[in-house]
Structure 1
Amino acid sequence: MKKVLIAGATGYLGNYVAQAFKEENYYTKVMVRNLEKFKEKGINADEIIQAEITRPETLINICDDVDIVFTSVGITRQKDGFTYHDVDFQGNLNLLNEASKRSVEKFMYVSVYNGEKFKNLKICEAKEKFVEALRSSGLDYRVIRPTGYFSDMSEYFGMAQKGKVYIFGNGNNQINPISGKDLAKFCISAINTGRTEPEVEGPETFTHNQIANLAFEVLGKPRKIIHLPMGIVKGAANIMRWLMSSKTYGPFEFVATILSQNMVAPSFGSDKLENHFKSLKP
């Protein structure tokens, strides 16, 4: 039986990945920082290791007898005093160093679609710096590149619940978001393919206006969308970069950049965004 080490199992994607590997008859070894949070998730795993990816001394020998390492560890909003560099780059590098010592068969990491193109953004800078280290590690690897998760689209649903959805730009750029369940299946399918950095997204393509309208439709509320001119948004992002910490401007500039262009990758899966929104209804 193949053994997989999963880092980030309590996160949105990691939760589904742990379940998917288990369903494929892998021996699942999950690395968690907060045991209580892990227990609340009700994740089924063969082995639980309490460790912190930002503390390399807690990772010693964690890759013993492991065939595959999977990590989706990363932060969208900096917290607990950690920066993108601390977690997305250095934290994952700590894990990669341990995996290299044990010469694991494969190291899998989840970055973002067009990550190399977005290296000027603080969030992507840290992720792609780690990707560069992974490429140079000598290990067989996979970098999974999704365009967006259903959980990201929940932001639209939350605004719609309050009566107004704010969209940067005209809202006509497209994206095909994917569910955590479908992306987890794709990650496992990518293990035995020849592509080292596959791009992927969900089965449905929407404009951002259509996603907002879908949220209102599911809620049964009148549609009210407010478009913020992209020129003003980008100007604000530039000012924030000069005057504020990356903790504040990082998420803002990332969203502003994503909404300013099409983010459509090869489709995979069958889950529908409408059903996700319905699951969020109170």
Structure 2
Amino acid sequence: MSETIVVAGATGYVGRHVVEALDARGYRVLALVRSQERAEAPGPFGAPSLRGRVAEWKVVDYSDSTTLRGVCEGAGRLVSALGVTRQNASPWDIDFLGNLRLLEDAERHGLASFLYVNVLHSESGTSLTMRSKHAFAEALRRSRVAGQIVNPSGYFSDVTDFLLMAKKGFGFTLGDGTAKVNPIHGADLAEFIVEHLAEPSASWDVGGPDTLTYRELEELAFRIAGRRQRILRVRPGILRPLQWAADRSSPRVSNLTRFFLESLRIDAVGTPTGDRRLEPYLRAIHQPPAGNMRSPSLWVEKY
């Protein structure tokens, strides 16, 4: 009988690709979801449906520890792509506490490993998302379960925000836009994850094959959108008053503002992985085959 792998966050962009890759390699997948119906529907940004790829379903609520007890029973390993971005849920409740509850169950049932999809530079971020992810990564490093931490530089799906802005005829960079990023396709990241499942505790910084500055990303988005470039250069000095205002708006606005602005300030370049290129992906998103991809503006769920 093939090894059972628990996948948390299976309904999100990365989680769906992970399930697909595991199933293709012959693993038995136990998917943790909030809705099986939604998981079996087409996924975000061309990510696959999970119909026919999952051996066992468990409907869970990551904020309710009682629904997570025993999810690891009979499994060999766990992969967590669990996390929130734009939802109303608190990153502390999901990214940290939700994953911590999963880790406790993994320890209780003696799993061989827990692979966590983190984010590059989580240790230096001030947003609640980054602090929650970093806090869990530190807890995982101290666990008796072998902890494998994958730090993506960013996802192809994230870059669709630049395309959405370009379609509306505007874009912006922070300063001269020279900070660099090499986002990775979800399928390439999933293949990397599955290839490293059986390795001992480790941490990897990964990205895609294309490294661009944020200015170059904006220019690419305008070319694909077929719009005249209107790129506003935002002075770094405006960050503090913007964050001050966001902090006094709501916890959700504060978190999103900090997460987004901080991502534009520093290089986020991981080891180039995979061969899927960014420009063809964005062109497919811009003009998707009929019925094949959801509009990026309609999908915000990550877990």
**Letter of the aligned partner of 1:155 in structure 2?**
D
Q: d(CA) in 2 for partners of 1:35 and 1:21?
A: 18
Alignment correspondent of 1:74? 83
Name stretches of at least 5 consecutive residues in structure 2 with no aligned partner: 43-48, 288-303
Distance in 2 (CA, whole Å) between partners of 1:211 and 1:253 is 20
Separation in 1, partners of 2:242, 2:229: 27
Q: CA deviation at 1:225?
A: 1.1
Alignment partner, residue 229 of structure 1 = 235
Corresponding position: 1:115 with 2:125:
no
Q: State the shift of 1:62 in Å.
A: 1.1
Question: Structure 1 length as normaliser, TM-score?
Answer: 0.94
Count of paired positions:
278
Pair 1:247 & 2:247 matched: no
How far 1:175 moved relative to its partner?
A: 0.6
- Mapped partners of 2:196, 2:159: distance in 1: 24
Distance 1:250 1:72 in 2: 19
In the alignment, structure 1 residue 277 sits paired with structure 2 residue 286:
no
What is the rounded CA distance, in whole Å, between the counterparts of 2:208 and 2:170 in structure 1? 26
Q: Does 1:171 align with 2:192?
A: no
Partner of 1:57: 66
Q: Is the 8 A contact 2:127 2:254 kept in 1?
A: no
Secondary structure of residue in 1 paired with 2:203: coil
Q: Structure 1 regions of 5+ residues with no counterpart? A: none
Task: Answer yes or no: is 1:88 the counterpart of 2:95.
Answer: yes
Scaled by the length of structure 2, the TM-score of the pair is: 0.88
How large is the Cα RMSD of the aligned pairs? 1.4
Per-residue CA shift, 1:185-214, capped at 9, x if unaligned? Answer: 111122244561111000110011111111
Higher relative contact order by CA 8 Å / sep ≥ 6: 1 or 2?
A: 2
Matched residue, 2:22: 21
SS in 1 for 2:38: helix
Question: Which residue of the partner structure matches residue 31 of structure 1?
Answer: 32
Deviations, residues 50-99 of structure 1 (Å, cap 9, x unaligned):
112221111221111101111111111241xx311111111111111111
Is the contact made by 2:173 and 2:232 (CA closer than 8 Å) also made in structure 1?
A: yes
Counterpart contact for 1:62–1:98, Cα < 8 Å: yes
State the alpha-carbon separation in 2 of the partners of residues 192 and 138 from structure 1: 16
* Alignment correspondent of 2:41: 40
- Alpha-carbon displacement from aligned partner over 1:204-237 (angstroms, at most 9, x marks no partner): 1001111111112122222221121121023311
Q: Equivalent residue for 1:190?
A: 196
Larger deviation, residues 98-107 vs 132-141 = 132-141
| Amino acid in structure 2 at the alignment position of 1:174 | K
Q: For the residues of structure 2 that align with 1:225 and 1:101, how far apart are their CA atoms?
A: 52
Q: CA contact under 8 A between 2:147 and 2:202: conserved in structure 1?
A: yes
User: Does residue 161 of the first structure (1) align with residue 181 of the second (2)?
Assistant: no
Contact 1:113–1:145 under 8 Å retained in 2? yes
Deviation, structure 1 residue 167: 2.3
User: Are the equivalent residues in 2 in contact too, given 1:134–1:141 (CA < 8 A)?
Assistant: yes
Aligned-pair identity in percent equals: 29
Question: Match for 1:268 among 273, 282, 297?
Answer: 273
In 2, Cα distance between the equivalents of 1:169 and 1:122?
24
